[in-house]
Structure 1
Amino acid sequence: MIIQKIEICNFRSYYKSNTFELANGLNLIIGSNGDGKTTFYEALEWLFRTDGTNKMDSKYISKKRMEELFANESDDVRVSMTYEHKGTIKTLEKMFHFTKSFDGEVSPSNYSYTLTELSGVERTVKDGIRFDYDLPSEIRKYTMFKGESDLDVFQNSNALKMLVETFSDVKDFEAYFAFMEYATKKADQARDNAQKLDKKNTDKIKQLKYTIERESSTLSDIEREIKNKENEAVNFDGLLKSIEQSKEASKLLINVNRRIETLSQKRFQTQARIDENYTINLLDNMWILMGFGDIAEEYSAKVNEIDLKRRKLEQDYLLTAGADKVLKKMQAMKTDFVPLPVHIPGQKIMQEMLDEEVCKICGRRAEKHSEAWEYMLHRLEEYKESLKADEDEEIEPYYKNNYIVELQKRDTTLNDNLAEITKMRRKIQDAIAFNNRLHDEVKKIDANLNLEFEQKKRILAQTDGLTEEQLLANYENISNWVEQKNKAENRIATLKHQRSQHRATLDEAQEDLSKLAEGTSAAIYAKTALIIRQISEAFKTAKETNKKRLLHAIEDESNVFLEKLNTNDFKGTIRILEKVNGQGEAVLINNDNTRIFNPNTALRTTYLMSVLFAIGKLSSEKDKTEFPLLFDAPTSSFTDAKESEFFNVISTLNKQVIIVTKSFLKESANGEVVLDQNKVDEISGRVFRIEKKKPFDDKKLGTIQTVISKIK
């Protein structure tokens, strides 16, 4: 079958009549998003539907055509395909009428589906469902594919069975199987009826029949359990494959989550070590005095200066007071210098110097009872004495208050603590530096956390819609699924062994029963039943051989196409596997005979398309005709270079291929999407460009119209 022309009229964005004149070979229909690529594919899907569903649907009607109709005006939605099949030109056409009412409603009517054959000048119009004779529905499943995810024909659980029935002679055996089962049953009944007359072997016959019934029942139970276990194994295998496809992502996600947890704990611990209670420490730990050193020195100098003046004035006052008692007192006080106040050094410091036998003012030793030590003792006693009230004092003191003395005492106290205050500066600096280092560490942890969270986003964005919970749950369940799969497979092996044993017992009982029939009227029936069973087993063996031959043929042809389509790159070897439940699967095998899980998307697309080409070739060999292949965006994951190479290889194949794609487009300097003519020129085949007619209103669907340009 070669498609020559496709016409689309008033089908969604295809306003009025639009025609594609196709070539026998590669046909590219290039369009950007929203230009009508998917609509083209869906128009053909609607045309090819022969089951009588979706006949007339208002969603198919061109919005633009609908809006421009006047009241009571009509038009048609029509999709037709002209093709050549086995030397005859035919046109398949599906259409319906639509009319706009006075209130603006549109109603469809007059549906028709026809297949017109042209033979010379004669035209024969038939029902469109006869298209199934030219392109059977079971074949169409292997000719139309929407997107890369749709390329795996074996994702349908019945795909292998349909392939075997369609492209091999296995289905021819089914009628024989039914007949053999019927004939065996009748032969057994005839034998049993004849053996009822054999009184001599009644007990043996009864025992053998019991054995046959028991073994047949057991075999039936075993077959049923085998089927259940095979389904279990397939289900767990499917779960494991879904994990296999995302196992790497699951591992990465688990490792990322572990790193996030470790970093989060480290951040919490580091943050907890930061102590920035500076406001509290200013008062509670006297940090406010950190800058007091310079102030204390200035304060001390001023206090000493004013104290010196105080003592000088007081001395002059006492010297001029004239009291004998005072004169006596002054004689004791008179020196060539102004003496220190009795409270300097303080009582505690003076006592400390006496205990340690050292003068901490001059730094010299003052052994006990030495002149220096006695002097310090005298000074201490003098200070203690000054604290006592002098009852005999008759002269009014020069200073009635002791403010300056209090200031001097405060100065002494501050100077005693000045060393600790100086140390406090270093302590505060160390605390702030320590906190700053912790802050820097937290920033680094936050930066690493951000990197891990970004990695986590990338992992989840590339897992085909699986959530984080699903990935983690799948990974956690893998050991359980492996165990369950192994249990099912081990049980299947055990059951098959038991089946062979019970079959042997059953065959032996049937053979013994046939031997008992020898020489009697039942002999012919027993022999007939035995021969029929042998023929039935031969048919089963032939059916299995036929199926394996077909799978090997698909494998061989697939690898031939893979060699052509995937040049200068790793490709592996295609194998068509049959699962325990009879489902098929196309996989890639490495040279060490291990399966290649999760091949890159471009390689996956290439090897699955190779399988499709192989099936197409086998179909053409069987029916002596070629069937076209139609793909909607099959190479979206390809690089530009890979895509050009891929299309060029397809153009060399002796097969009609129609590919709807947004490849070979680029953005111009002014931001418009235009055709990359240089790349198009490198392609051998027919090329069409579809695009939205300009201008259009991006808020109004009724302004959208797909226009077609034939490029080459």
Structure 2
Amino acid sequence: MIINKVEIDNFFCYVGYNEFDFDKGLNIVSAKNSGGKSHLFNAFHWTFFNNIYVDKQEDTTKKEWKAADNINTLPDYIVLNSNVDDVFKTAIKITLTAEFHENEEIKGDLVEYHFEKEIFFKKRINDVFPTSKPELQIWYVFNGETKYLDKGEHKWFLDKIFPVSIRKFMWFQGETVDELYDFSNPATLSYAINEISYFPIYENLVAITKKAESSISNKIDNELKKVKKFTVEQERILVEVEEAKRKSSSYDDRIIEAKNELLNLEDSIIKEEEKLKGVGKYSDLKLKLNKYEYEIKAVNDKIDFLSVQSKEKFISKWMLNKCDDLIKKSSVNMDVLSKEIKSFQKSENPVPITLPGPEYVQKMLDDNICYICERAVEEGTAPYHALKSRMADFKNNQVQKILSDNFTELNRFRRNLLSELPGISDEVVKNDSDIEKLIAQRKKLLTQRDNLFSGSGIENATEISIGSTTYEQILNKIRSLNASKTNTDRRILSYTSDKSSEDRRLQELLDRKAKIIQFDDAVEITEITAKKYIDVINSALINLKKTALNHLIEEINHESNVLYSKYLGGNTQGEIEIDKGVRIIDKQTKKTLSNLNTAELTAQKLAVANAFLSLSEKKMNRSFPLLADAPTSQFDDENTLFLTQNLSESFDQIIIMSKDYNKIKGDERASFIDKAKISKYYELKNELIDKDGADSRSNKKTYINTIK
């Protein structure tokens, strides 16, 4: 496969129409930070997979994959210099040459495929909004006829030309090199090998000859029964052999079924993870939205509380603000009122009628004792009549008591007011200030909440809620798929173990059968002769399969180490070893090396990934382009040149976007282009459109300078 051309119209920093022509071999796109190389990489992903690698919403120092449906892809310059209700579009067209997807044989007819995608936007007062979803069309010309793929075929077609199991090897960024592959999972190696080689054919041939061997053995046994009579022991051994074969075969079927299930689960997990990239933001947005809504509600509750409290205080106290002198002057009236209340008293006893209270006086009468002087009070005596008189006073002075109590309360309230009135002005000011601060806080929270929508290109909370629910559903599905995958792995191990045990038992039975059932030369059974040949073929294919796998692993291992050494200019601490996983070992001791630096680990990942793509061309005559954004970000200048110069020997086409070539100028660059056999060399610069205008992103675009 060769990518021929990329045409970009109004996509982020690419203002207006822009064109990149690519060729076989090594293609370099050099640019400083913010020059436009990452958005060129995004152009491929936006077109093929409808996602974009952009800043995280909550942390612009980090990036993440996001679904492209609601992302504004228009350049800032277009948005700023347009009128309300103007309509614009982002459009990308990618042309590539690949094997015709309907070829029955690999490396058949080549077809030029065209991928065209566009989305329309409309200008509002302060921003733009999409008026359509990104629409992709895939078409080609075959036998003089233009044909378009149905939308329902798009995903299938993209999976066919960019196989999921090795897609990460083909499209990656330096920031995500750690995600290239996971060889801690044994299935990863198996999937990749199946994509780049004919090894599955050996597995199929072994399975076919094994079934043929089992089938012809059964025919031989049936024919023997026709020409000779078996003893009881011989009959029993035949039955046991047949049963053991049946069990072994059933385990084979179970293992094949489980492995197919595992492949489907792996494929489903990869696809769900791709979906997760598109909705991952919604989970974070939901948490932030809930946080803002909670804080806004809390602020509203505080404002309501202060408002209600201020009303109550106004009615009870604040309405008397600055009445201090008036209340102080009321002391004269209070004295008059006190004298007036005393005039109601119908007793000459100067002791207040509240002392002692009527309850105590009544108890003294009932107990015939004065609890004040502790002397007896007999009925008919003067003390007794005095207490009775006191009780009469209580009844007679009831009105005076109520007035006295109210007067006391009024006097207390007056004193409290006099102590509180001087602070009323400060209380009112503080209350108003607190409410104003809370209103400002609410306004800020509302703005942050609104920015949450506009910043993420989302219209309302419903979309976030739906997206968050979708995210959780996909995440739960991935968890469920991973749990099923784990269970399937265990089942395969269990079936394999049981099959090994049954195969050992079968071999023991076959050995016994060979001893007690001898083939007589006089017995003419054609299948006996045929079985000898089938046994030889089956044995040969098993050895070929084992040899082929070992040889393929050796080739991958060798190719990886050749590339690993080249990428690091021969300065490696060890060598790559591929078995069930990938590791770096010491060349002499063969022990695993740890604490390798970042460049060495990156080179290891790149070497193995590139070895798979390189061998795919050699083994399957099926080439894939390598498209990488900043693959050398972890390398020093020298190793960057080593990597670049050695990449072109591994692939039909490589497109590298990096800032690491920006230092090379003039004759040094010309020499580098010649030495690295570079086919196309572009230099990108993000510069002012209006040279006299403001130094703003809204006045900048990426300019393409074709060096070669």
State the TM-score, normalizing by the size of structure 2: 0.49
Larger Rg: 1
TM-score (norm 1): 0.49
